[in-house]
Structure formats: structure tokens, C-alpha cells
Structure 1
């Protein structure tokens, strides 16, 4: 087989291998909230790419040092946002260790992950975001919005603490 023919065959195989992903398009629909960084559309669980929200059992401290369920607050804020901005559209970028779709999702043209971080209901997760939401996090921290009004453990640190107990 000639080198040129070999490259054509190789290129054709590559195009066929990625074609289903490229043609899949966004998943669009009415989203239901699982937690502050996970939704479900048409039975598909979707984890927002690059952010992390407190877990439902996680407690944080508000501005006066009183404990509150910050994960629950994040979930409720997300539900209110999605209710007001329908439909939700998600573009898959990866799969996580639980085989959930990891995606960038928008509603009414707004990046939902960025909105959650900017409002202080979630944080930028540099391990997965490459700092994409760091500006939104800095804005939330400076304005003392949401989690930043008091004190909290980063969700991934909280989960790690819970796994050793």
C-alpha cells in the first residue's frame, strides 16, 4: 500500500470514529436538578464541566458564623434559575468516572456553570476547568456572594474528608 493511500485510509477511519460524536449535537430539554452541579435531561445525568458545588449534606457558615445547608441552597438556586430560563442545552465534552455526561450547558444563552460560580453557589474546579471560571469566582469572592459571604470547605476537599471518616 502506498503511503498516500495509507494516509487516506487512516484519515477515513478517524473521521468515521469521531463522526457520531460530532453529529450528536446538543442535548436540549427541560432540566431537573440533581444537585448544584448535576442535572438530568430526558433521563440523562449531566455534570457541569469545570465547576464544583457543595454536596447536599455539606454544611457551611454564613456571614455571622451560623451553619446552613450550602449544598441544598445551591440546588435550589439552580432549580430557580433553570425554571426561569428554559430550555437547557448541553454539549458533551467528556464522561466522568460514574459514566455521567460532563457538559457545558446553557439556558437562555447563559453558561450555567459560570452563573453558578458568579453567584457564589459553586466554585471553579481548576483540575477540570483549566481556570475557565476563575474570573467568575474572583468576582463572587470579592462581592462576598453565596459561599463567599462566610466560610466553607471546597466541595472536593469536603468529599475527601468524608471518605476518610
Structure 2
């Protein structure tokens, strides 16, 4: 099979005319805007830097401690509030105070280290905390003195099956107790969706 083709006239290319001053100024302005946006995004991303705190802990209640000047809310769990009561064998008992005692026992006088990047509506760092090799968040749930709050569902299932801690009787979920006693906004669970939501909010909040 043969091919035939004919060569057409060659096209002449003329150089593009110089751009006007207005067009060049517009380009410079757009470049400055893009650079400004990158700087703002970089500033917001600094807020996602993982913070690490360690030292001897002051135990505030069953899911919050203080390390130095940093107040820390343990991520992914929710313990009865300090003044909250639960019910067992037909009588009320101070489950909030027992939840705090449980965390004190888990720490056992050892230094505590916590890491995290999110903060709750009180400005507390949402942290994953350890004392030695003990994962305090998971251990508190497995001991039955905190419920899963976006994480640690497996540990909660173990506590339920063993009727450990508050699972030995009946109780009002800490979130519901807070709502009925303090009339405050609902605290969001500390799961993956909440983390993604916080990240997106930080990226779009440029003021």
C-alpha cells in the first residue's frame, strides 16, 4: 500500500506582541495572591504539629490530667464526671470519684507522657497518654471506668463482658450527665471524622 502526500505552503510564525503593562501587573498581583495563600496555609498547618508533654501528672478526674501548665483531656474516652453518681445494687455510688481513683492507680506514681494536636472547646489538649508501657486511655476504658468516645470500642466490649467498673450497674452516659447538669454544648466524639473536621476547619479559617 502506497501513501502519497503533497507538501503545502510553509506557515510563517510571527513573534507574539509584547504584553501590555496592565496584563503584566495582573500577573504580578495573581502571583502575590497565590504566595499569600501558601503562607497562610503553612501557618495553619503549624497548628497541626504534634505536641508532647511529660512529667508527673495531677489527676483531675477519670479522663483529664494536668502536666505542668498543660491541661490534657484523654482522647477517645469519656469518664463519669467527678461529681457524677451511678447506680449499683439499688443504691447510688460516687462513680465519678471512683473513676478518678482508677486513673490514679493506673498511673501508680510514674511519670506520664501525652501527645496530641487537637484541642477541645476548653482549650485542653486531646492526648494519648502513657505511664511506662501502660496505655492509660485504653486501660481506663478496659477497667470499666470510662466509655469509648470515638475510639477504644474493643476495650469497652471487654469491660462490658466482665461487668467491670460502671458496667456492674447502671449509669447515665457522661455526655448526657453534663448536658443535664451544666447546660453546655455537646462535646463531639474524638474519632477520625472529628479529626478530619478539625483539620478542614483550620485550613479554611484564615482570619
Give TM class, smaller chain.
Answer: 0.7 to 0.9
Check conservation: 1:93, 1:104, Cα contact below 8 A.
Answer: no
Aligned residues between the structures: 156
Q: Within 2, Cα distance between the matches of 1:144 and 1:152?
A: 12
Which residue of structure 2 aligns with residue 152 of structure 1? Answer: 171
Which of these residues, 145, 148, 152, is aligned with residue 124 of structure 1? 148
Higher strand proportion: 1
Which residue of structure 2 aligns with residue 18 of structure 1? Answer: 45
Compare relative contact order (CA 8 Å, sep 6+) and give the higher one, 1 or 2.
1
Deviations 1:43-96 (A, max 9, x none): 21100011111011111112x222110000000111121125x22111123111
Which residue of structure 2 aligns with residue 68 of structure 1? Answer: 93
Check conservation: 2:142, 2:158, Cα contact below 8 A.
Answer: yes
Distance 1:144 1:60, change over 3 A: same
Which residue of structure 2 aligns with residue 30 of structure 1? Answer: 56
Q: Within 2, Cα distance between the matches of 1:95 and 1:25?
A: 11
Q: TM-score, normalised by structure 1?
A: 0.81
Which of these residues, 99, 122, 125, is aligned with residue 123 of structure 2? 99
Shift of 1:144: 0.2
Q: Within 2, Cα distance between the matches of 1:153 and 1:12?
A: 47
Q: Gapped runs of 5+ residues in structure 2?
A: 1-26, 184-207
Check conservation: 1:55, 1:155, Cα contact below 8 A.
Answer: yes
Q: Within 1, Cα distance between the matches of 2:84 and 2:44?
A: 42
Larger Rg: 2
Which residue of structure 2 aligns with residue 138 of structure 1? Answer: 157
Q: Within 1, Cα distance between the matches of 2:121 and 2:48?
A: 19
Secondary structure of the equivalent of 1:40?
strand
4+ residue runs over 3 A deviation? 6-22
Shift of 1:14: 4.8
Provide the aligned C-alpha RMSD in A.
Answer: 2.4
